[in-house]
Structure 1
């Protein structure tokens, strides 16, 4: 009888421990990075994986061949440039952003972004809050096209903590869009809003 009680107590304590540690694990996984140094941010990175809270846009993400994000210092502040490729179609968007706190804000105020901690040394993990939090996007960018499995698994766990759909992992063999010209072509200006939505 004593043995059964002891075993039950150990099991109960184990369950309590697990239930208490789960939220702490997510809290640790999703902790904000704080304001990174612009010098460490600069450069072009490819999207390695991504997910978002708005399910219809997940289908568009699955059809995407590749995507990039790039930070650079400009005379008026900081530029954030994105590209996305689907087949032979490349879309570009460029924004002036303001680094503030643990993230950055777009000039129009509809999107704010938080830098989230990742163990990947050359990655930038971004959580976008769109239209005052109506939907959220969660993207992992890296200077490498393919990460270690442990790094991808960490991102999957982070997405699960946010209750987002399982991430789309990009195919590293798919071609990236060419580097964006210094002056964005007029043909691409119409794609800015759509690139931001994505």
Structure 2
């Protein structure tokens, strides 16, 4: 029991730490410490939350491969929690953009969409996660039966759209896109190989 409690605390701390950190930074910026996150704090906050949305999402996708690996690390019971954190970070990412970069100026939204098509891709990915978040409970799993798994396979589409979201923002350095897309590719390959094994 003590081991499970320690694992619970560790996972909760790891998932909450980024949002606590950025919350503290925002409070300090509002108190006049403008240079904490560089010359564009709004952009820094938005990108930070987007990065952790993707980190949480990929972390969620690694749980099944970890269980199937020779290490047999079984953290499947934490998958729902991690998935909900990924959704939360995606939502916070969008809210940070609307608040800190767009200033809720709806009249500028059309221009932003035209100039930044990655926004459309990002919002579409977020919309796809809404039914996943709603149906993540055991009650919904029982109600949907086999359809539940099929619905939740769309998390891979969300991850792929997230890669496109990053790709469309690349200006000079490709490092972030290459790292994240490589991780996702490995997860997809493992999933396909496992399906062939069990077919």
Measured against the shorter chain, the TM-score band is: under 0.3
TM-score by length of 2: 0.22
Give the structure with the larger strand fraction.
Answer: 1
> Highest relative contact order (Cα 8 Å, sep 6+), 1 or 2?
1
TM-score by length of 1: 0.22
Larger gyration radius, structure 1 or structure 2: 1
Give the structure with the larger helix fraction.
Answer: 2
